[in-house]
């Protein structure tokens, strides 16, 4: 079982719909990242969370540390939001420059 699980793996929706992508993890973490990857492209960091909720434009990310769960929401979705959304966690509670452990990603397609 992967340490970081995302659902759904694939999601197709119509423009304007409210989108939710879920991430569950099974290890202790110091931070959780939501990342966006376009086809053939590099990765862009959307959010980094250690508690609570963050909002940036039409994107909202929440995390529940006790339940080891995070969600990424997209309001008023648009075709340009089509991408792979990846949840990644940084393990542990202290220092050390550990890299990220990634989920497999959610492939989102927003149709006009």
Partner 1 sequence: DAMVIQNPRYQVTQFGKPVTLSCSQTLNHNVMYWYQQKSSQAPKLLFHYYDKDFNNEADTPDNFQSRRPNTSFCFLDIRSPGLGDAAMYLCATSRDQAPGNEQFFGPGTRLTVL
Q: Which is nearer to partner 1, 19 or 49 (CB)?
A: 49
CA distance 63 to 49: 7
Residue 82 binding partner 1, by CB under 8 A: no
Q: Which is nearer to partner 1, 33 or 77 (CB)?
A: 33
The token pair at 95 is: 């220092």
Stretch that binds partner 1, among 13-21, 33-41, 55-63, 65-73 (CB under 8 A): 33-41
What is the total residue count of the chain?
A: 112
Q: In sequence order, which residues have a C-beta less than 8 Å from that of residue 4 and are 6 or more positions away?
A: 23, 24, 25, 26, 87, 88, 89, 101, 102, 103
Residues that bind partner 1 (CB under 8 A): 2, 4, 30-31, 33, 35, 40-45, 48, 50, 86, 88, 90, 92-105
């Amino acid at each position: 079982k992967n340490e970081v699980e995302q659902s759904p793996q694939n999601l197709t929706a119509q423009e304007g719909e409210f989108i939710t992508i879920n991430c569950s993890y099974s290890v202790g973490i110091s931070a959780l990242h939501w990342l966006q990857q376009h086809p053939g492209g590099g990765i862009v960091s959307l959010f980094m969370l250690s508690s609570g909720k963050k909002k940036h434009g039409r994107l909202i990310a929440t995390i529940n540390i006790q339940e080891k769960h995070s969600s990424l929401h997209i309001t008023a979705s648009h075709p340009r939001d089509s991408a792979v959304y990846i949840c990644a966690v940084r393990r542990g509670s202290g220092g050390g420059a550990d890299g990220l452990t990634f989920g497999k990603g959610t492939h989102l397609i927003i149709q006009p």
